[in-house]
Structure formats: C-alpha cells, structure tokens
Structure 1
Amino acid sequence: MVFFSNQFANVVEWEEFREDMIFWKWSNREIKKGSKLIIRPGQDAIFLHNGKIEGIFEEEGEYNVASQIIPFLSTLKGFKFGFNSGMRVEVLFVNTKEFTVKWGTQNPVMIPTPQLPGGMPIRANGTFNFKVNDYVTLIDKVAGVKNSYLVEDVKIRITSMLDQLLMKWISREGKDMFNLQANAFDIAKGIREDLDMQVLDIGMTITGFNVMSFNYPKEIQDMITKTASHEMVGNLQKYQQISMTDGIASGNVKGGGAAADMAGMMMGMNIANEMMKNMNQDQKPQTEGNAAPSSSGSGQKPNFCPNCGTKNEGANFCGNCGQKLG
C-alpha cells in the first residue's frame, strides 16, 4: 500500500511556478481517483498520453480529474479507476503571458558602407516580445524532449540571428549610416517579421521588436558630433577660430614645439587684426563728425572788417582802420 501511495498523486499542478519559465511538464507519475487538477491564472494545462494531446484546459480553477477531466479527454473517456490502479499521463503546463526580453549585440556588427572600406562597426540594443501560440508545434519540436523551457533559451536562439538581421535591414535601401536612429522603426519592423518566421517552427510568435539605440565607436561618434557642430555654427572659418580660442583658453593648445607656437601666434595676430578693425570702425564716424568745426576755426580771413565794415580782399589787416583780420 505504501508503494502505491507514493506513486499516485493527489494534486496535479505546476509545483514551482517561475515567471521566466515558458512551460513545465508534470510527468512520471500516475493520477489516482479523487485527484485534482489546479490551473492558476496565466496557465493552460495540456493532458498528454503516449506523446499525443488528449485535451487542453484553459480556464483557471480546481478540477476533479475523475469527473471533470477524464470525460473530456479524447481517447480516455472510458477509463475507469480500479482498486489501487491509476492513470499514467503527462500534463504540460504552459505560461500564457507575453514575455519581454532585453537584447544587445555582444560584438560590433560590421555594416558595409562606402565611407569605410572595412565596414561601419555598430552596436545596438533594445527589447523583443514573444509568446506561445501553437501548442501542437511546441510539443512536437520542444516539449516532446524537454521537461521545461526558459525565456533564456529563446533569448539565445533570437540573439544568435540578430547580427545577420541587423546587417540586412540596416544596409537595405541605402539608409544613412550616421543617422540610423531616424530609421529605427523601419529596421525594427523588418527584423520582427524575420524573427517571427524563425520561431514559428517551435510554436511561438514574436509580438514586438524594438531598437532602443544604435551605438558607434567613440571615434565615429566624435566625428558625428563635430559635423553636427559645423552645421550648427554654419561658418566653418568662424568654427575653427572658436575651436582654437577654446583650446588656448583651456590650455589644450600648449607645448608641441614650433607648430603649437605658430598656431598661437597666428591666432594672436588674427585677434589683433580684428581688434584694430573694430577700433577703426568706431573712430571713423567720430572723425567725420568733428571735421566741420575744425575747418571753421582754421584762421580764414573775413570778407569784411569787423571794426569798420570795409571790404577785405584777403589782407591780414584792414586797409581802412588797421584792424587785424587773420
């Protein structure tokens, strides 16, 4: 009696439920009369006999195996529990929720581009979503040989294909290698469709794929930032002057021998020339404004003597009264 009591199960349930587990198989035990099946929220229970699906139960709750389960099984409807006899079946519990997984390229993906003969090294990261959608295929391809299956197993399968798919969809339609984020939606859409085809053969579907960011090597990113700065400033010569001024002020342009000294000298001369131009422009209106008064007080001789009114012909003294005129 002890032997049979150890072999028979009173409760059929997912004993150690894990959020990161896609399915778990209850197996190698017999169900006795009076046993109960417990299905928790977010779970489906699939009864298997000799590797074939007997019935799928999707409603959460507690069920009596003899009265509520056996009558609905396809080939075991006539099964009768006898004395100390049980029914040996397998029950596959499936996690029905949608899983969200973070992904990231392990190594840079070399994207072909005319600007760089060796390819543009790019890293990317984001998330993808998937869920089980075909129980028959899942059992045939995975659950038939495994007792459990983790999200990590699917992640490994997905990330092994991402490098090639990123290369395919980034290179497509001549996308701008230096502004991939602008095309992130189209790239992600194409990758999702391809990945979905790859996981259909294990009974799953990709419900979403998202590219959060594309990352360039530091040298490439610095170049992109510098190019953007040029566009923002608009005047390349002015940008170079600003860059040199900032370098001298910060102490980054120092040492370096004759080249650095010459750069500093040229920058100093340019600054001096600009200062002189500004001074000349400021002084010119003032000089022009003072020209009239200076000319009026320059010593010109009057046409008439201020003392006696006699007309003057340009002499220094009045010919009538001797008044000094100049």
Structure 2
Amino acid sequence: MGFFRDQFANVVEWQEFRDDMIFYKWNNDEIKKGSKLIIRPGQDAIFLNNGKIEGVFREDGEYDIVSEIVPFLSTLKGFKFGFNSGMRVEVLFVNTKEFTVKWGTKSAINIPAPGMPGGMPIRANGTFNFKVDDYVALIDQIAGVKDRYLVDDVKIRITSVLDQLLMKWITQEGKDMFNLQANASDISRGIQEDLDMQMIKSGITITGFNVMSFNYPKEIQDMITKNASYGMVGNMDKYQQISITDGMASGKMSGSGITSDMVEMMMGMNVANKMMNNINPPSQNQSQPAPNQNTEPAPNGNGQQRPNFCPNCGAKTGQANFCSNCGQKLV
C-alpha cells in the first residue's frame, strides 16, 4: 500500500478557508493525473510555477486538472502525466471580496494648536476598506514568501503609518482644531489617497477610508461644549436661564424648596412680561410726561400758591379763592 499511496489523485482546494484570510497557498503534494480543482464563490485560483503565474481561474466550480486546467497553463500546457510522475506547481487561492476593518489610534496624537506648546492630544477611530487588485504585485511582494495572509497583517501595516497621515491631514491650512469633525470628509479622502499609494505596491488597493470621530481630552471637550452652548443661546441672560432650568431638572437645586419656588416664580414672571411686551408693544406715539413737567398746583392771579387742601377744614380745594366747605380764604 505504501508504494501506491503517492499515486492517488488529490483534490486541490482552499483547505483552511477563513473569512479574514486574504490568500492561501496550496503546495502540499504533486498534482497527480485525475486530480480535481475546486474553486468556491469569492475565490480565484492562480497556478504558479517557480514563482511565475501560469494561469488564473476565476469561475467557481469543480474542474479536472488534466483536461480542463493544464491546456490553459502558459508553459505547462504540454505536460505529460505518467504513472509515477506528477506536476509540481503551487496553487494560490485569493479571497476576492472587499474587506472592512475597524481602526483606532493606539495613543493620543499631539496636534499643534495655538496656545498649547505641547500640542493638543487627539484620538480618532473609524473604518477602512481594501481588496486585492494586482495579483502580480501581490505575489512579488507578499505571496512569494508567505503561505497565507490575514486581514490583521494588512491592519498592522496601515495602523503603523496612520498617526503620521492623521497629523499631515489634520494640520492642513484652514482646519479648525476644535471642530475637526466638520473636516472629517476631507481628512478621510486625503488619508485614503496616501494609503492607496503605499498599499498598491503590494497588490492591495484601499477602496475606502472613514474617520468616524475625533476624541479630545475631557477638559478640551468640556470647553468646546460650553462654547457651543454660548453660541447657540446668544447671550448671557438666556444662558443663565437655561443653566437654572438644567439645574432644576437634574435635581441640583432641590436642597431648598423656597429657593426653588422663588426661581420658578421669577422665571415665570420674566417669561410673562416678555410675552406681554410682544403682544402689546409700547406705542411710539404714546404721550409721556415731560421729564421737567411742573405738577405743582397753579398759582392764583396774584402770584401766590393755592393749596390743594383747605388749611381750616381739610376739604379738597378747587380753583376758587375761598373754601367751598367752611369759607376759609385760601390765598
């Protein structure tokens, strides 16, 4: 039995398929007469001879290697299988799907910022997409020396240069250091182009890159949030009103019921007054008393001042010179 063991036909297939595996190299045995090639959906099979591509097969299915594969190989199309001879080649199976990978900065990146000598520490995270695009480059740079290649291998290569690329595109002129999310699309596009230029040399193209969020230190984020609140409210009076409302809602002002009631009453009166002013605005033609108008009683004909009340009986006086109640002379 040992003499005939190596003469048995074999099956050439991706034996250890994993979703996170980019390629797998079959190089276990000689391909014997009667051997089968199995290509599953999402796979390409590349026949290699001494590191050179002999043929690429993309359609999934099961093939007889002697009759359906060998005739299409570049230099091995005339190979003759004998009883004791087989074809020594390598078959590289490539995962053709587009991979999506999450990334995040391992440590904060110190971005130069005005008023911060050491820079502003920023973290970022997002996703990137890639796929195998050039088989020749892939074999020359990676598959020639590796039997398998994983998504983590690509992730390590990309994250090793991400800090530099983030620094480059964040510090582009015109970027608001305190609102980087507004420029996330431009930053992502620039990083994708730079990454693609580096990875395409290995046969891999970066089909997408996305910065999902920038994370500031807590002190900086609190300042940004407060500044945004000022801008949204517009003035200090309204900001104080909102602060009081927030404090009441959160229970921070619940220590004194009287204080809370007074605050509510003041806020209610303030709102009511503003509503009344909006409903009945003061007329521009409404007559107002002159600042220096004399409200004292008018003097009589002799220039003497007539009292408003009778000094004898206290009755209210009019324009007469004598009190109408007791007859007292008024002037």
Sort the TM-score into its range (normalised by shorter chain).
0.7 to 0.9
Which runs of structure 2 are paired with 1:24-173 in the superposition (5 Å)? 24-173=24-173
**DSSP-derived class of the 1:68 partner:** helix
Q: Cα distance 1:92–1:244, how it changes in 2: closer, same or farther (>3 A)?
A: same
The answer as to whether partners of 1:8 and 1:30 remain within 8 angstroms in 2 is: no
Bigger Cα displacement from structure 2, 8-17 vs 24-33: 8-17
Alignment partner of 1:299 out of 315, 322, 329: 315
* 1:84 CA drift (Å): 2.1
In 2, the alpha carbon distance for the partners of 1:14 and 1:221 equals: 50
Q: Is 1:250 the equivalent of 2:258? A: no
Deviations 1:116-147 (A, max 9, x none): 22111111111000000110111111011000
The answer as to whether partners of 2:315 and 2:323 remain within 8 angstroms in 1 is: no
In 2, the alpha carbon distance for the partners of 1:8 and 1:299 equals: 138
**DSSP-derived class of the 1:173 partner:** coil
* 1:243 CA drift (Å): 4.9
Bigger Cα displacement from structure 2, 148-157 vs 70-79: 70-79
In 1, the alpha carbon distance for the partners of 2:7 and 2:322 equals: 144
Q: Write the letter of the residue equivalent to 2:14.
A: W
Q: What is residue 15 of structure 2 aligned with on the other side? A: 15
Deviations 1:212-233 (A, max 9, x none): 1111111100000111111122
* 1:250 CA drift (Å): 2.1
Q: Is 1:228 the equivalent of 2:228? A: yes
The answer as to whether partners of 1:136 and 1:203 remain within 8 angstroms in 2 is: yes
Q: What is residue 323 of structure 1 aligned with on the other side? A: none
Q: Write the letter of the residue equivalent to 1:148.
A: R
Q: Cα distance 1:313–1:83, how it changes in 2: closer, same or farther (>3 A)?
A: closer
Q: Write the letter of the residue equivalent to 1:46.
A: I
Q: What is residue 288 of structure 1 aligned with on the other side? A: none
**DSSP-derived class of the 1:299 partner:** coil
**DSSP-derived class of the 2:31 partner:** strand
* 1:105 CA drift (Å): 0.5
Q: Write the letter of the residue equivalent to 2:322.
A: G
In 2, the alpha carbon distance for the partners of 1:51 and 1:317 equals: 133
Give the TM-score, by structure 1 length: 0.77
Structure 1, unpaired ranges of 5+ = 254-266, 282-294, 304-311, 320-326
In 2, the alpha carbon distance for the partners of 1:178 and 1:31 equals: 62
In 2, the alpha carbon distance for the partners of 1:15 and 1:198 equals: 31
Q: What is residue 304 of structure 2 aligned with on the other side? A: none
Q: What is residue 314 of structure 1 aligned with on the other side? A: 322
Q: Write the letter of the residue equivalent to 2:252.
A: S
Which runs of structure 2 are paired with 1:189-268 in the superposition (5 Å)? 189-236=189-236, 239=239, 243=243, 250=252
In 2, the alpha carbon distance for the partners of 1:31 and 1:302 equals: 133
Give the TM-score, by structure 2 length: 0.76
Structure 2, unpaired ranges of 5+ = 274-307
In 2, the alpha carbon distance for the partners of 1:112 and 1:8 equals: 67
Deviations 1:143-202 (A, max 9, x none): 110000000000000001100000000100230011111110000000000000110111
In 2, the alpha carbon distance for the partners of 1:7 and 1:215 equals: 62
Deviations 1:2-42 (A, max 9, x none): 25524755210001211100000000410111101000000
* 1:234 CA drift (Å): 1.9
The answer as to whether partners of 1:9 and 1:29 remain within 8 angstroms in 2 is: no
Q: Cα distance 1:113–1:70, how it changes in 2: closer, same or farther (>3 A)?
A: same
